[in-house]
Structure 1
Amino acid sequence: MKKTILAAAVLAGVVAAPVFAGDDMAGMNMSAKPAVMKVASNSALTDAEVKKVDATTGMVTLKHGALENVGMPPMTMAFEAKDASMVKQVHEGDKVRVRVENVNGTLTIVKLEKQP
Protein backbone atom coordinates (compact mmCIF):
# COMPACT_ATOMS: atom_id res chain seq x y z
CA MET A 1 0.00 0.00 0.00
CA LYS A 2 2.82 2.42 0.91
CA LYS A 3 4.52 1.64 -2.42
CA THR A 4 1.30 2.45 -4.32
CA ILE A 5 0.94 5.82 -2.57
CA LEU A 6 4.61 6.61 -3.14
CA ALA A 7 4.35 5.63 -6.82
CA ALA A 8 1.24 7.79 -7.24
CA ALA A 9 2.96 10.76 -5.62
CA VAL A 10 6.02 10.39 -7.84
CA LEU A 11 3.85 10.02 -10.93
CA ALA A 12 1.80 13.09 -9.97
CA GLY A 13 5.00 15.08 -9.62
CA VAL A 14 6.20 13.97 -13.06
CA VAL A 15 2.87 14.74 -14.69
CA ALA A 16 2.49 18.11 -12.95
CA ALA A 17 6.04 19.27 -13.65
CA PRO A 18 5.42 20.24 -17.30
CA VAL A 19 2.37 22.27 -16.30
CA PHE A 20 4.47 24.53 -14.08
CA ALA A 21 7.46 24.60 -16.43
CA GLY A 22 5.37 26.42 -19.05
CA ASP A 23 5.06 29.47 -16.78
CA ASP A 24 8.78 30.11 -16.71
CA MET A 25 9.57 31.66 -20.08
CA ALA A 26 12.64 33.61 -18.96
CA GLY A 27 15.21 33.58 -21.68
CA MET A 28 12.66 32.97 -24.44
CA ASN A 29 12.87 35.53 -27.23
CA MET A 30 9.25 35.72 -28.38
CA SER A 31 9.90 38.73 -30.61
CA ALA A 32 12.08 36.79 -33.02
CA LYS A 33 10.78 36.61 -36.57
CA PRO A 34 10.17 33.22 -38.21
CA ALA A 35 13.18 31.92 -40.12
CA VAL A 36 11.22 31.75 -43.38
CA MET A 37 8.36 34.05 -44.15
CA LYS A 38 6.44 33.61 -47.39
CA VAL A 39 4.78 36.69 -48.80
CA ALA A 40 2.60 35.89 -51.75
CA SER A 41 1.24 38.58 -53.98
CA ASN A 42 -2.54 38.59 -54.14
CA SER A 43 -2.33 39.15 -57.86
CA ALA A 44 0.24 36.44 -58.72
CA LEU A 45 -0.74 34.51 -61.84
CA THR A 46 0.41 31.03 -62.87
CA ASP A 47 1.05 29.78 -66.41
CA ALA A 48 -1.34 27.06 -67.54
CA GLU A 49 -2.70 25.27 -70.60
CA VAL A 50 -6.41 24.60 -71.06
CA LYS A 51 -6.96 20.87 -71.47
CA LYS A 52 -10.78 20.79 -71.38
CA VAL A 53 -13.68 23.20 -71.06
CA ASP A 54 -17.12 22.13 -69.78
CA ALA A 55 -19.53 25.04 -70.21
CA THR A 56 -22.45 23.14 -68.65
CA THR A 57 -20.68 22.67 -65.30
CA GLY A 58 -18.47 25.78 -65.45
CA MET A 59 -15.34 23.66 -65.07
CA VAL A 60 -12.01 24.24 -66.81
CA THR A 61 -9.31 21.56 -66.76
CA LEU A 62 -5.84 23.09 -66.61
CA LYS A 63 -2.32 21.74 -66.85
CA HIS A 64 -0.79 24.31 -64.51
CA GLY A 65 2.42 25.28 -62.80
CA ALA A 66 2.74 25.45 -59.01
CA LEU A 67 -0.12 27.32 -57.35
CA GLU A 68 1.87 28.68 -54.40
CA ASN A 69 -1.03 30.47 -52.71
CA VAL A 70 -3.01 27.23 -52.29
CA GLY A 71 0.02 24.98 -51.80
CA MET A 72 -0.48 22.92 -54.95
CA PRO A 73 2.38 21.51 -57.06
CA PRO A 74 2.22 21.48 -60.87
CA MET A 75 -0.42 19.07 -62.19
CA THR A 76 -3.49 18.73 -64.39
CA MET A 77 -6.78 19.35 -62.62
CA ALA A 78 -10.30 20.66 -63.21
CA PHE A 79 -11.27 23.90 -61.49
CA GLU A 80 -14.55 25.74 -61.12
CA ALA A 81 -14.55 29.11 -62.88
CA LYS A 82 -15.67 32.14 -60.87
CA ASP A 83 -18.05 33.20 -63.63
CA ALA A 84 -19.37 31.92 -66.95
CA SER A 85 -17.53 34.55 -69.00
CA MET A 86 -14.24 32.87 -68.13
CA VAL A 87 -15.46 29.54 -69.49
CA LYS A 88 -16.69 31.16 -72.72
CA GLN A 89 -13.39 32.87 -73.50
CA VAL A 90 -11.13 29.79 -73.50
CA HIS A 91 -10.80 26.69 -75.64
CA GLU A 92 -8.81 23.47 -75.41
CA GLY A 93 -5.13 24.15 -76.15
CA ASP A 94 -5.20 27.84 -75.13
CA LYS A 95 -2.26 29.15 -73.10
CA VAL A 96 -3.49 31.15 -70.11
CA ARG A 97 -2.37 32.75 -66.86
CA VAL A 98 -4.61 32.05 -63.88
CA ARG A 99 -5.16 32.85 -60.24
CA VAL A 100 -6.77 30.00 -58.29
CA GLU A 101 -8.08 30.55 -54.77
CA ASN A 102 -9.94 28.50 -52.18
CA VAL A 103 -13.46 29.97 -52.25
CA ASN A 104 -15.69 28.41 -49.59
CA GLY A 105 -13.77 25.14 -49.77
CA THR A 106 -13.70 24.93 -53.58
CA LEU A 107 -10.58 25.64 -55.63
CA THR A 108 -11.83 28.30 -58.03
CA ILE A 109 -10.32 30.22 -60.94
CA VAL A 110 -10.80 33.83 -59.83
CA LYS A 111 -8.72 35.46 -62.57
CA LEU A 112 -7.94 34.22 -66.07
CA GLU A 113 -5.94 35.90 -68.82
CA LYS A 114 -5.50 34.41 -72.30
CA GLN A 115 -1.96 34.51 -73.61
CA PRO A 116 -1.21 35.42 -77.24
Structure 2
Amino acid sequence: MKQWIAALMTLAAAAAPAFAAEAAAGPNTPAPPRDARPPAGDALTEAVVRQVDLATGMITLKHGALDNVGMPPMTMTFKAKDIAMAKRVRAGDSVRVRVENVDGVMTVVKLEK
Protein backbone atom coordinates (compact mmCIF):
# COMPACT_ATOMS: atom_id res chain seq x y z
CA MET A 1 0.00 0.00 0.00
CA LYS A 2 2.83 2.40 0.87
CA GLN A 3 4.42 1.73 -2.54
CA TRP A 4 1.13 2.52 -4.27
CA ILE A 5 0.76 5.82 -2.42
CA ALA A 6 4.40 6.69 -3.14
CA ALA A 7 3.88 5.98 -6.86
CA LEU A 8 0.72 8.11 -6.90
CA MET A 9 2.51 11.01 -5.17
CA THR A 10 5.42 10.77 -7.64
CA LEU A 11 3.00 10.86 -10.56
CA ALA A 12 1.18 13.88 -9.12
CA ALA A 13 4.45 15.72 -8.55
CA ALA A 14 5.58 15.00 -12.12
CA ALA A 15 2.29 16.21 -13.62
CA ALA A 16 2.05 19.44 -11.62
CA PRO A 17 4.32 21.55 -13.91
CA ALA A 18 2.26 20.57 -16.96
CA PHE A 19 -0.98 21.68 -15.30
CA ALA A 20 0.65 24.91 -14.12
CA ALA A 21 1.89 25.75 -17.62
CA GLU A 22 -1.58 25.20 -19.08
CA ALA A 23 -3.19 27.42 -16.46
CA ALA A 24 -0.57 30.14 -17.04
CA ALA A 25 -1.54 30.36 -20.72
CA GLY A 26 -4.95 31.65 -19.70
CA PRO A 27 -7.55 33.34 -21.87
CA ASN A 28 -5.28 36.25 -22.86
CA THR A 29 -2.88 34.04 -24.81
CA PRO A 30 -3.14 34.89 -28.53
CA ALA A 31 -4.72 32.27 -30.75
CA PRO A 32 -2.45 30.38 -33.13
CA PRO A 33 -2.39 31.86 -36.64
CA ARG A 34 -5.04 30.60 -39.06
CA ASP A 35 -4.02 29.07 -42.34
CA ALA A 36 -4.15 31.24 -45.46
CA ARG A 37 -7.02 29.42 -47.15
CA PRO A 38 -10.19 31.44 -47.75
CA PRO A 39 -13.15 30.68 -45.52
CA ALA A 40 -15.11 27.63 -46.66
CA GLY A 41 -18.09 29.84 -47.48
CA ASP A 42 -16.09 31.65 -50.17
CA ALA A 43 -14.21 28.74 -51.74
CA LEU A 44 -14.61 28.25 -55.49
CA THR A 45 -13.62 25.08 -57.33
CA GLU A 46 -12.10 24.81 -60.80
CA ALA A 47 -14.37 23.04 -63.29
CA VAL A 48 -14.98 22.54 -67.01
CA VAL A 49 -18.50 22.71 -68.45
CA ARG A 50 -19.32 19.47 -70.28
CA GLN A 51 -22.97 20.13 -71.13
CA VAL A 52 -25.72 22.69 -70.53
CA ASP A 53 -29.44 21.85 -70.64
CA LEU A 54 -31.36 25.14 -70.74
CA ALA A 55 -34.74 23.38 -70.66
CA THR A 56 -34.04 21.92 -67.21
CA GLY A 57 -31.45 24.44 -65.95
CA MET A 58 -28.89 21.67 -65.45
CA ILE A 59 -25.13 22.04 -65.97
CA THR A 60 -22.78 19.06 -66.28
CA LEU A 61 -19.35 19.84 -64.83
CA LYS A 62 -16.04 18.03 -64.62
CA HIS A 63 -14.96 19.49 -61.29
CA GLY A 64 -12.24 19.32 -58.68
CA ALA A 65 -12.91 18.36 -55.06
CA LEU A 66 -15.93 20.13 -53.57
CA ASP A 67 -14.74 20.17 -49.97
CA ASN A 68 -17.75 22.02 -48.57
CA VAL A 69 -20.09 19.18 -49.60
CA GLY A 70 -17.54 16.37 -49.22
CA MET A 71 -17.44 15.44 -52.91
CA PRO A 72 -14.27 14.19 -54.63
CA PRO A 73 -13.32 15.26 -58.18
CA MET A 74 -15.69 13.80 -60.79
CA THR A 75 -18.05 14.66 -63.63
CA MET A 76 -21.60 15.33 -62.43
CA THR A 77 -24.75 17.22 -63.38
CA PHE A 78 -25.90 20.03 -61.09
CA LYS A 79 -28.92 22.32 -61.00
CA ALA A 80 -28.07 25.93 -61.81
CA LYS A 81 -29.25 28.52 -59.26
CA ASP A 82 -31.19 30.18 -62.08
CA ILE A 83 -31.56 29.90 -65.86
CA ALA A 84 -29.51 33.08 -66.37
CA MET A 85 -26.52 31.27 -64.86
CA ALA A 86 -26.95 28.34 -67.26
CA LYS A 87 -27.23 30.72 -70.24
CA ARG A 88 -23.82 32.30 -69.46
CA VAL A 89 -21.83 29.12 -70.16
CA ARG A 90 -21.27 26.66 -72.99
CA ALA A 91 -19.70 23.22 -73.19
CA GLY A 92 -15.90 23.53 -72.98
CA ASP A 93 -15.86 26.70 -70.83
CA SER A 94 -13.43 26.71 -67.89
CA VAL A 95 -15.22 28.06 -64.83
CA ARG A 96 -14.93 28.37 -61.06
CA VAL A 97 -17.99 27.24 -59.12
CA ARG A 98 -19.48 27.05 -55.65
CA VAL A 99 -21.82 24.09 -55.19
CA GLU A 100 -24.10 23.74 -52.18
CA ASN A 101 -26.82 21.35 -51.08
CA VAL A 102 -30.01 23.43 -51.42
CA ASP A 103 -33.09 21.61 -50.12
CA GLY A 104 -31.50 18.25 -50.91
CA VAL A 105 -30.43 19.21 -54.45
CA MET A 106 -26.78 19.83 -55.34
CA THR A 107 -26.92 23.33 -56.84
CA VAL A 108 -24.38 25.65 -58.47
CA VAL A 109 -24.91 28.80 -56.39
CA LYS A 110 -21.97 30.81 -57.76
CA LEU A 111 -20.25 30.61 -61.14
CA GLU A 112 -17.35 32.67 -62.49
CA LYS A 113 -15.88 32.41 -66.00
Asked if TM exceeds 0.5, the reply is: yes
List runs of 5+ in structure 2 lacking aligned partners: 1-37
Q: How does 1:39-54 map to 2 (within 5 A)?
A: 40-54=39-53
What percent of counterpart residues are identical?
Answer: 66
Under a length normalisation based on structure 2, what TM-score does the superposition of the two structures give? 0.65
Partner of 2:56 in structure 1? 57
What is the alpha-carbon distance in structure 1 between the residues aligned to residue 59 and residue 39 of structure 2? Answer: 24
Q: How does 1:1-20 map to 2 (within 5 A)?
A: none
Q: Does 1:85 align with 2:84?
A: yes
Partner of 1:106 in structure 2? 105
**Runs of 4+ off more than 6 Å:** none
> 1:51-79 CA deviation, whole Å, 9 max, x = no partner?
00000000000000000000000000000
How many residue pairs get aligned? The number is 76
Under a length normalisation based on structure 1, what TM-score does the superposition of the two structures give? 0.64
Q: Is contact 1:48–1:63 with CA below 8 Å preserved after alignment?
A: yes
Letter aligned with residue 73 of structure 2: P
What is the alpha-carbon distance in structure 2 between the residues aligned to residue 72 and residue 41 of structure 1? Answer: 14
Letter aligned with residue 41 of structure 2: N
Higher helix share: 2
What is the alpha-carbon distance in structure 2 between the residues aligned to residue 100 and residue 40 of structure 1? Answer: 15
| Matched residue SS, 1:49 | strand
List runs of 5+ in structure 1 lacking aligned partners: 1-38
Aligned-pair Cα RMSD in Å: 1.2
